[in-house]
Amino acid sequence: MREKATTLYIGPQHPGITGNMMVKVQVEGDTIVKARTEVGYLHRAFEKLQESRNWLQSFTLLCRFCVPEPDPVEESYARAVELLEGREVPERAKYIRVLMLELARMASYMLWYGGQNGSLGLYTMGQWSVGDRNYILDLFEELTGGRVYHMYIWPGGVRRDLPDGFADKVLRTMDYLEKRLKDYDDLMFENTIFQKRTQGVGIISKEKAVEWGVVGPVLRGCGIKSDIRIDDPYEVYDKLDFIVPTQEGGDIWARALVRRQEIRQSIRIIRQVIEKMPSGEFYNRIPNPHKWTLPKGDAYARTEATRGEVGMYIVSDGSTHPRRTHFRGAAYVHGITLLEDLLIGENVADISAIMNSLGTCPPEIER
Amino acid sequence: MSFFDLNGTLKPLTALKQFGKKPHTISYPKESKEAADRYRGLHFNDLDECIGCGNCSTICQNAAIDMIHIEGHDGKKGDSGLRPRVDNGRCCWCALCVEVCPTGSLSLTKDYLYVSEDPDSFLWTPGKDNPEGKEQISFFSTEETSLNVLDRVPMPELEGKERVKSFAEVVLGYNEAEARAEASRCISCGLCTEVCPEHMHIPEYINAIAAGNDADAVRIIYDNNPLPEMCGKVCTRRCEDVCAIASRGEALAIRWLKRYATETAVTADITREIVNPEIREANGKTVGIIGAGPSGLTAAYYLALRGYDVTIYESSAKAGGATMYGIPKYRLPIESLDKQIDYIKSIGVKINFNTKVGKDISFKEIYNKFDAVFMGVGFPDAWSLGVDGEDAKGSMQAFRYLYMINSGDKVDIGDKVIVVGGGNVAIDAARVSRRFGADVTILYRRRVEDMPADWEEIEGAEDEGVHIIPQGIPIKVHKDENGHVKSVEYLKAEMVPDPKGGRPKPVAIEGSNTIIEATAVMAAIGQMGDYSFLEKEFEDKIKIERGRFIVNEKQQTGDPKVFAGGDAVNRTADAISAIADGFRACKAIDEMLSA
Ligand SMILES: Cc1cc2nc3c(=O)[nH]c(=O)nc-3n(C[C@H](O)[C@H](O)[C@H](O)COP(=O)(O)OP(=O)(O)OC[C@H]3O[C@@H](n4cnc5c(N)ncnc54)[C@H](O)[C@@H]3O)c2cc1C
Ligand code: SF4
Ligand code: SF4
The chain-wide mean pLDDT, for chain A, equals: 91
Q: Is A1 part of any domain?
A: no
For the stretch A72-130, pLDDT in tens is 999 999 999 999 999 999 999 999 999 999 999 999 999 999 989 988 988 888 888 98
Rounded Cα–Cα distance for residues A156 and B84 (Å): 28
- What integer is the mean pLDDT of B56-73? 92
pLDDT cut 70: percent of chain B above it: 99
| pLDDT at residue A2, rounded to an integer | 65
In this model, does residue B590 exceed pLDDT 90? yes
Query: Domain containing A201 — which CATH number?
Result: 1.10.645.10
* Sequence-separated (6 or more) residues with CB below 8 Å from residue A353: A116, A119, A120, A197, A198, A201, A202, A252
| pLDDT at residue B384, rounded to an integer | 85
Give which of A147, A187, A291, A321 to mutate to test B binding, by max B Cβ within 10 Å.
A291
Residue nearest to atom 8 of ligand 2 (CA): B50
* Sequence-separated (6 or more) residues with CB below 8 Å from residue B269: B346
Residue A297 phi, psi dihedral angles, 5° rounding = 145, -170
The chain-wide mean pLDDT, for chain B, equals: 92
Instruction: Report whether B321 contacts B399 (CB < 8 A).
Output: no
Residue nearest to atom 2 of ligand 2 (CA): B101
Fill in the DSSP letter of residue B559. Answer: S
| B485 strand-pairing partners | B479
Rounded Cα–Cα distance for residues A96 and B547 (Å): 68
| pLDDT at residue B22, rounded to an integer | 78
Q: Is A252 part of any domain?
A: yes
In this model, does residue A1 exceed pLDDT 60? no
| pLDDT at residue A210, rounded to an integer | 92
The yes-or-no answer to whether B160-274 and B382-527 have a common fold is no
Rounded Cα–Cα distance for residues B244 and A283 (Å): 24
> With a 6 A CB cut-off, is B94 part of the ligand 3 pocket?
yes
In this model, does residue A69 exceed pLDDT 90? no
**pTM for the model:** 0.87
| pLDDT at residue A364, rounded to an integer | 85
For the stretch B344-385, pLDDT in tens is 999 999 999 999 999 999 999 999 999 999 999 999 888 888
pLDDT cut 90: percent of chain B above it: 78
Rounded Cα–Cα distance for residues A181 and A129 (Å): 9
| pLDDT at residue B3, rounded to an integer | 57
| pLDDT at residue B146, rounded to an integer | 93
Q: Is A210 part of any domain?
A: yes
Sign, CA dihedral B123-B125-B129-B134, equals positive
> With a 6 A CB cut-off, is B351 part of the ligand 1 pocket?
no
Q: How far is the CA of B102 from the centre of ligand 2 (A)?
A: 7
CATH fold of B160-274: Fumarate Reductase Iron-sulfur Protein; Chain B, domain 2 (1.10.1060)
ipTM of the complex: 0.91
- What integer is the mean pLDDT of B30-46? 91
For the stretch A228-265, pLDDT in tens is 999 999 999 999 999 999 999 999 999 999 999 999 99
User: Is the CATH code 3.40.50.720 the one for domain B382-527?
Assistant: no
Of A366, A363, A360, A364, nearest in space to A23 by CA:
A360
DSSP string, A328-353: E-HHHIIIIIIHHHHTTTSBGGGHHH
Nearest C-alpha in B relative to A143? B38
Rounded Cα–Cα distance for residues B106 and B67 (Å): 13
Rounded Cα–Cα distance for residues B63 and B54 (Å): 12
| pLDDT at residue B258, rounded to an integer | 96
Fill in the DSSP letter of residue B52. Answer: -
Q: How far is the CA of B567 from the centre of ligand 1 (A)?
A: 7
- What integer is the mean pLDDT of B69-98? 90
Ligand lying closest to the C-alpha of residue B527: 1
For the stretch B517-569, pLDDT in tens is 999 999 998 888 899 999 999 988 999 998 899 999 999 999 999 999 999 99
Give which of B21, B98, B110, B147 to mutate to test A binding, by max A Cβ within 10 Å.
B147
Q: Number of A to B CB contacts under 8 A, please give it.
A: 107
Of B34-38, B41-45, B187-191, B500-504, which range is least confident? B500-504
In this model, does residue A14 exceed pLDDT 80? no
Nearest C-alpha in A relative to B7? A190
- What integer is the mean pLDDT of B18-46? 86
Contact B61 A186 (CB under 8 A): no
| pLDDT at residue A17, rounded to an integer | 66
How distant is the Cα of B65 from the closest Cα of chain A, in angstroms? 14
> With a 6 A CB cut-off, is B296 part of the ligand 1 pocket?
yes
Q: Is A11 part of any domain?
A: yes
Instruction: Report whether A288 contacts B185 (CB < 8 A).
Output: yes
- Rg (chain B; Cα; Å): 31
| pLDDT at residue B1, rounded to an integer | 47
- What integer is the mean pLDDT of B420-431? 94
* Sequence-separated (6 or more) residues with CB below 8 Å from residue A362: A17, A18, A19, A20, A21, A39, A41, A42, A331, A335
pLDDT tier, B277 (very low <50, low <70, confident <90, very high otherwise): very high
* Sequence-separated (6 or more) residues with CB below 8 Å from residue A143: A100, A150, A152, A160, A162, A163, A166, B38
Distance of CA B544 to CAs A189, B548, B549, B578, Å? 98, 5, 4, 18
Domain that holds residue A27: 6-366
Q: Which one of 3.30.70.3270, 2.30.110.10, 3.40.50.300, 3.40.50.150 gives the CATH number of domain B43-139?
A: 3.30.70.3270
Residue range B282-380+530-593, CATH number: 3.50.50.60
Contact B11 A190 (CB under 8 A): yes
Instruction: Report whether B328 contacts B406 (CB < 8 A).
Output: yes
Distance of CA B324 to CAs A75, A322, B292, B316, B337, Å? 59, 49, 10, 10, 7
Nearest-5° angle of CA A318, CA A319, CA A320? 135
For the stretch B286-341, pLDDT in tens is 999 999 999 999 999 999 999 999 999 999 999 999 999 999 999 999 999 999 99
In this model, does residue B2 exceed pLDDT 80? no
- What integer is the mean pLDDT of A296-300? 96
How many domains would you assign to chain A? 1
For the stretch B121-157, pLDDT in tens is 889 999 888 999 899 999 999 998 999 999 999 999 9
For the stretch A188-225, pLDDT in tens is 888 888 888 999 988 999 999 999 899 999 999 999 99
In this model, does residue A65 exceed pLDDT 90? no
* Tally of CA atoms within 13 A in the half-sphere of A291 that contains its CB: 24
Mutate to test the pocket of ligand 3, among B39, B65, B109, B111 (most ligand atoms within 8 A of CB): B65
pLDDT tier, A336 (very low <50, low <70, confident <90, very high otherwise): confident
Of A46-50, A104-108, A257-261, B180-184, which range is least confident? A46-50
- Domain coordinates in residue numbering, chain B: 43-139, 160-274, 282-380+530-593, 382-527
DSSP string, B385-452: ---BTTTSBTEEEHHHHHHHHHTT-----TTEEEEE--SHHHHHHHHHHHHTT-EEEEE-SS-GGG--
* Residue A175 amino acid letter: D
Instruction: Report whether B462 contacts B468 (CB < 8 A).
Output: yes
How distant is the Cα of A333 from the closest Cα of chain B, in angstroms? 30
Instruction: Report whether B484 contacts B394 (CB < 8 A).
Output: yes
| pLDDT at residue A16, rounded to an integer | 65
| pLDDT at residue A236, rounded to an integer | 96
Interface check for A164 against chain B (CB to CB < 8 A): the answer is no
